[in-house]
Structures are given as C-alpha cells and as structure tokens.
Chain A
Amino acid sequence: MSTQDPNDNILLRVDDLKMHFPIYRGVIQRQVGAVHAVDGISFNIRRGETLGLVGESGCGKSTTGRTILQLYRPTSGSVQFDDVDLVHLKGEDLRHMRRKMQMIFQDPYASLNPRMTVADIVGEPLMVHSVATAKEIQDRVQHLLALVGLNPSFASRYPHEFSGGQRQRIGVARALALQPSFIVCDEPISALDVSIQAQVVNLLEELQSQFNLTYLFIAHDLSMVKHISDRVAVMYLGVIVELATRDELYAKPLHPYTRALLSAVPIPDPVADSKRERMILKGDVPSPVNPPSGCRFRTRCPIAEAVCAESRPEFREIRPGHFVACFFAERFL
C-alpha cells in the first residue's frame, strides 16, 4: 500500500490503520458493536513536511492523530516511525519513542493544568523523561518561552493569567520541550479568534523551518490547511477519500466529497464568492457505528451508482502522488 516514491525521506508510515471502539451493553457488558472511528487508512509523511488532515466533526481525524501517537492502541494496522513499529512497542521502549513525537491540543483552556505554573507545565516533559537536571530544566523553560514569543519572566504565572493565543503558545512550548521531530497539531487554532489564529500559524511555520519539524496538521478549516500544508488528506467517516499535494488537491479535486467540501468553504471576497458554483451536499454524515456498505460517501454522493453500494472503492494512485478512493474519479480529471 501507499508507496509514494520509496526513495523519499519518509518519517512516518501508516498502513491500513484501524481503530474501532467497542460498544458494550447490558448487565454482562457484552460487546454489541463498535464505532469504526478509523477504518483502514494508509499514508506516509516525509521529514520536514506538513501533512494536512481535513474532514468534518466525527470523521476520525483526531482519532487518527491519537492512534499514531499510541494514545489509543490501534485495532489493527501498523504505524512505523523512523522505521520502528510503534504498534508493538511497550513500556520503556514506547516511552523512549514518545520523546520524538508530541502533540498540540485543540482547546488551550482544557489542555493546561490550572494548578501548575507555566514553568511546571513546560518543564514537565523534561522531568518525566528525566533528560535534564533541575537547573537545566529552568534554563530550557526560559529558552522555550522566548522561542514561542512569550516573556520568560511569565514562567511563574498560572494558565488563567493568559489569553487563548498565549495559552496555545504555552502548549507549543511544551510540545517542543523534548526536541521532537514530529508533532501532531490537533486543531490548534480552531478555538482562537481570527486575528490570533494567524499569529499561532505563523509561529508554527517559523518553528518548522527552524527545527525541521514534521507536522500532521489536523483541522476542519480548509483554507488554513491549504495555507500550512504541503500535502493534504481528506477524511470522511473513518477513511481517507483523497490525498494529494495541496496545489493539486485544491486546483483539481477528484473525489466528489472533496469537491463538495471545497465548494462549501466561504471565500472572504463577495466578487469571487458570487462567481463560483456551489455544490450543496444533502443530509448529514451517517453514524460510524453502522457505516454504509461499499463507499462510505455514497449516501450523500451526487454521482453514486449501484456499484458504490456493493464494493468499497480502492484507494488508488490516479496520477503520480494523487490518491483517491472513488470509482468515478476519472470524470473530473
């Protein structure tokens, strides 16, 4: 699966990853079903690259990020990071790998412990992984705060003394503490005001070029994903329906879902907005407990045919580097 030029410098390989959450019912808590949150996805991320992962709420994009980091242990499939298989790692070995991969969370109000000072929060990863002495930690925290654009003298303050944008900077500093090579950014800006979003995105971009970081950037905001990503994957109901370089994906979307999603994004320009064609999808996303047979998108798809209900379309490379899971993608070539 997913062989995008094997010579490339690949940091992360995800192959047929599945994450099903069991549903238990009744007195004896029998398993009656499962939420198919992630249902067989494959992709690679190259070193220094930003892969954008977009989709609507409940499509499994956050679960994907968490499963890659082994915060959830996957149902099946493999995750190779730096040629090490994370799925079968345990205990100290896994902890050791975790230094190299970190996460920035969506809600800067919930992801920082209100009883800890900023110095404790940012220094905690260093302490947990016992990579530095107390004095070194102190210096490193000062350095990290300066790096993310916070005044180092704020280190003894508590999270409630900061605004949303500043808190997200603290989250970024914490993620950087162990000098990781890979960061999962799980909707890092969607809880922030518009004028603050740009500040945080610019910071992430600066840090990336400074430390050659690799990002998995999870978001539902297609315009921000376009701005920050090198390649973009579109998820729908637990599967990736399309993956391509950002220019190609936005200029020539081939999956009907991607096309609908892109046409639904409002453009902040009344002239351009009135000129384009809008494709409005009917209905809502079906439940991942009982996803539709065959193609997941067929219940809302404007071009679905009988075959879409019968078999699941293969996630195939239709053009070099452009993957799509649709029987009729050629129509839009």
Chain B
Amino acid sequence: MPDFILDVQGLETTFRTPDGVVHAVNGVSFGLAEGETLGVVGESGCGKSVTMLSVLGLIPSPPGKVEAGKAIFGGQDLLKMSNEEIRHVRGAQIAMIFQDPMTSLNPVLTIGRQLEEPLMLHIGMSKNQARERAAELLTMVGIPNAKERLNDYPHQYSGGMRQRVMIAMALSCSPQILIADEPTTALDVTIQAQITDLVKRLRDELGMAIIWITHDLGVVAGLAQRVLVMYGGYIIEQAQVKELYANPEHPYTIGLLGSLPRVDETVRTKLYSIEGQPPVLYQKPNACPFAPRCKWALEHCWNENPPLLEVGPDHRAACWVDTKTGRHR
C-alpha cells in the first residue's frame, strides 16, 4: 500500500431531517497519495460533497453528524480535532474550492482583502507582505493588471475570473491537498477548459494533491489519475482512470458512461438510460442500493449489500454480478 497523505477509513455521516435520518455517507474509505489527482464522480445526493465536507469538519451540526470513521492527515485524525485545531489545517494545509463562484466570495469586501485574510491568518504575513503576495497569486491564476484589480469587488469580476480568485485563495497558503467541489459546473465550456487547464498547470508546478468532485465523467477523464464512483453514500467502484473508462465493472458506472453522448461519436445510437432515480437512504440498506435500477440484479443483490470486491488490477467494484457473463462473481 502506498503512503497516503490523507487516509479516510469507514466514514459515516447522517443528517437528521423532519422525514427521518438520512444516511448520506455510509462507510466510505479511500486514500490520497502525494501529488495524486483523485476524481470523485456521482450524481446529486450521492454523498460526494458530504464526504469531503465531513473530512474537513464543515458539516453543519445539527442536523449533520459524523457518526464514525477516521481521517488521518499528518499523523492526526481530522475527525477528532477541536474546531480550533482543524481551523489551522483548513485553508493552510487542505484547501477547498466550491461550485458556485458567485456565492462563495463575500460581496462587500474587495478581492484583495479576501485574498490577504488567509495569508495574514495562517502564515502571519504583515498587511504589506500579504498585499504583495495577493497580487502575485492573482497573476499566477491569469488575471491581468493584478495590482489594480485587487481593489475591485467580486461583482466586477466575471464567473470564470471569480473561480480563478477562489483558486488563488485556495492556493495562497501552499496547501498539500486541494479539494475542488464541482468547480467548473457553473461555468461555460470554454471557461471550464480555461479553469481545468489552469488547475493542471498549477498542479504540475506546485505538486499538490487534488480531490476533484464532479458529476461530469468527461472532465475527470482528462484530469484525474484515479477515480472513485459514488452512489447512495457508498463508493461503488474505484480504479485508475484508463482502466475505469475502458472496463467499467459496476452496472451504475456502465450506465453512466452509456448515457453520455460524445462529441466524437460517429454513429447515432439511442442513449442508454438508467431507469428510476437515485435513492434517498432513510436507513442503511441490507440490499445493494442500486439493485432497484439494475438490470443485472440477482437474488443475492436484494439480500446483501456487496462490499468492494477486487475485479481487476487495482480495480474494485461493489457488485455481486460479473456483468460480462451476467453471473454471480
């Protein structure tokens, strides 16, 4: 097993709602190697964001609660840290950028002020040093006239530029890990290409590890080295990126890939569609959470939730069925 800089084991998170307790994350385990880019793919409500927010202690509690698990980072368990302790990790060693660049910046503070804050807080820079560093950071993420633009307010920036500011802010304290939660979803394709390009360049320059959360299998294909697919609060498949796209093993992954039209497709075929909808889990299931939508489902699938099984080299899938033969593994 390689050395992981972040090692998450058996993470479980629940939310108390008027309709009952929702089991959002149900025993998720994964590791992140140094300098690695890990893609986390899944649809809304599959638990991909909640997993990362739990690791960083950002789950609003109540109604949320991290029920079990460990998240070892730098020899310490992030889940056991006090608010004060984890605040020194967050932003400084593990940074996060969010989906909506329109709402994650404070509209009444200048861009400069918002960039300087983490520098003064985490690194202890003086106001002047922070100002200078902020301008450097803006230049690094490709914003021209950085010095003057520090005095602008967020509404004076376009969506793509705001996401660049978020990235600059996240990278300001040279974190070891960058967690990006759907950072390009709200952006147009040409701007999305600019941002993924920027992240790739910075990753190569700065050597940080990245966790890239998305519902877009296309973006992950060009960016990640390893991919986790999540469904109903479980990791249901994980593999190296080429292996996953070439040999998807879990019926859900197969369905997702099949339901995507491609710009490079030449023949027009009917899109494969997964019938039904993703589940909301009010209790931990005894069956495979995907069974109601699965065309391969066997009797065993309804009686026992499959663990992640070894299905290939460095490739694991949580499925009782070998989809190539349709028989039980």
Contacts and interface: CB of A to CB of B under 8 A. Distances in A.
Nearest to B161: A284
A261 B193 CA distance: 9
Contacts of A165: 277
A196 B257 CA distance: 13
Given A198-B259, A201-B271, A205-B270, A269 B221 contact: yes
B274 interface: yes
Contact of A284 (B160, B245, B255, B257): B160
B44 interface: yes
Contacts of A195: 43, 255-256, 259, 273-274, 278
Contacts of B188: 56-57, 220, 285
A223 B261 contact: yes
B264 A267 contact: yes
A227 B189 contact: no
B325 interface: no
A264 B189 contact: yes
B158 interface: yes
A269 B245 contact: yes
B260 A194 contact: yes
> Which of A163, A222, A262, A272 lies at the interface centre, i.e. has the most chain B CB atoms within 10 A of its CB?
A272
Interface string B173-205: 000000000000000111111101100000000
Given A264-B192, A268-B218, A268-B245, A223 B277 contact: no
A226 B263 contact: yes
A278 interface: yes
Nearest to B160: A284
A193 B215 contact: yes
A234 to B, nearest CB: 12
Contact of B219 (A198, A224, A266, A280): A266
List 3 tightest A-B contacts by C-beta distance, closest first: A266-B218, A227-B261, A198-B259
Contacts of A194: 43, 215-217, 256, 259-260
Contacts of A193: 43-44, 215, 278
A197 B141 CA distance: 34
A76 interface: no
Nearest to A276: B264
Contact of A222 (B158, B263, B277): B263
B262 A268 contact: yes
A250 B263 CA distance: 7
A270 B161 contact: no
Contacts of A27: none
B193 A198 contact: no
A198 B272 contact: yes
Interface string A271-284: 11110001011001
Given A195-B43, A197-B259, A284 B242 contact: no
B275 interface: yes
Contacts of B270: 202, 205
A134 interface: no
B11 interface: no
B324 interface: no
Nearest to A247: B266
A265 B218 contact: yes
A9 interface: no
A261 B275 CA distance: 31
Nearest to B45: A193
A156 interface: no
A261 B242 contact: no
B85 interface: no
Contacts of A56: 188-191
B222 interface: yes
Nearest to B227: A270
A223 B262 contact: yes
B19 interface: no
Contacts of B192: 264, 266
A267 B271 contact: no
